[in-house]
Amino acid sequence: MKKLLLCTALLCLCFRGFAQDLNARVQVLSPKVQIANKRVFQTLETAMKDFLNGRKWAADPILPQERIDCNFVLNVSNWDGSGNFTGELQVQSSRPVYGSSYTSTLLNINDKDISFTYTEGQTIDYSDQNFQSNLSSIMAFYANVIVGLDYDTFAKFGGTPYFLAAQTIVTNAQTSSYSGWKAFDGNVSRYWLAENLNNKLYNPLRSFLYDYHRNGLDLMAENVSKGRKAIDALLPLLQQIDRQRVGSMLPLVFYTAKSDELISIYSKADNQERLTAMNLFLQLDPANGNKYQTLQK
């Protein structure tokens, strides 16, 4: 009987370890909220962290050292003193680069349209079948996007099931009155991020993400020139995306995450290669033009 109990306990511990797919660091900031006791924000921070790190998001077992690094920073701009919060949410994620201590940013997005209700000590409920609360839906949405992007960089189109799960969350949220979930809530929203991730028009960008990381960055620790040449060969895919839908959300998300990294990669290239890359990035991502112009120095 004791052996049976011991085995059961060990199985529970293993399952618990595998259940933690994310290594999410959470901060709840409230500099604009003028109250003396901010315990509710600390409680909210803990609840969000437990929600993100305590759930099973990926289909595969993930060891503790393989958990996906990500950051959620909620900046609360208004709290009514009861249960209603509004603010912005900064979400970042990264993946390690093979053979190095470097981590590559996959997502760096600022969701400026956050509002939800939360009561101190409340359990954050979530169901993938229907809309429970805006806070849980937002966190589950970005958790699936984070896992999907990570999977896309290790297996071509490996993130598809998670992007579909994110789309389901968007669909379920159509019954709510919260913004960010509908097509008319602006060009930069959760709705359009899910739409782009599941739209086959953007498969070339998802394919680029895989080859860029697996055949480019992951080779650079061993051979910088070889890895950069592999990335060179992929750049026409970015031109293809730019011609299809100018100003779409997924390319915007991509360049926000990758512009500094691309500059770092090509800053060490020879003069002609560096200038060719600079001119291409200026064309595809004019918003970061000042950054790319440093490549001509």
Over residues 116-172, the pLDDT tens digits come to 999 988 889 999 999 999 999 999 999 999 999 999 999 999 999 999 999 999 999
> Distances in Å between the alpha carbon of 279 and those of 15, 199, 283, 287, 291?
50, 28, 6, 13, 12
**DSSP string of 33-74, one letter each residue:** ---S--HHHHHHHHHHHHHHHHS--SSS---GGGPEEEEEEE
Helices (H), the chain: 2-19, 39-54, 134-154, 160-172, 190-198, 203-211, 218-220, 224-244, 249-266, 271-284, 289-292
Per residue of the chain (297 residues), give pLDDT as tens.
434 333 433 334 343 344 589 999 999 999 988 886 789 999 999 999 999 999 999 999 999 999 999 999 999 999 998 899 999 999 999 999 998 999 999 999 999 989 999 998 888 999 999 999 999 999 999 999 999 999 999 999 999 999 999 999 999 999 999 999 999 998 899 999 999 999 999 999 999 999 999 999 999 988 998 999 999 999 988 888 766 666 689 999 999 999 999 999 999 898 999 999 999 999 999 999 999 999 987
pTM score, whole prediction: 0.91
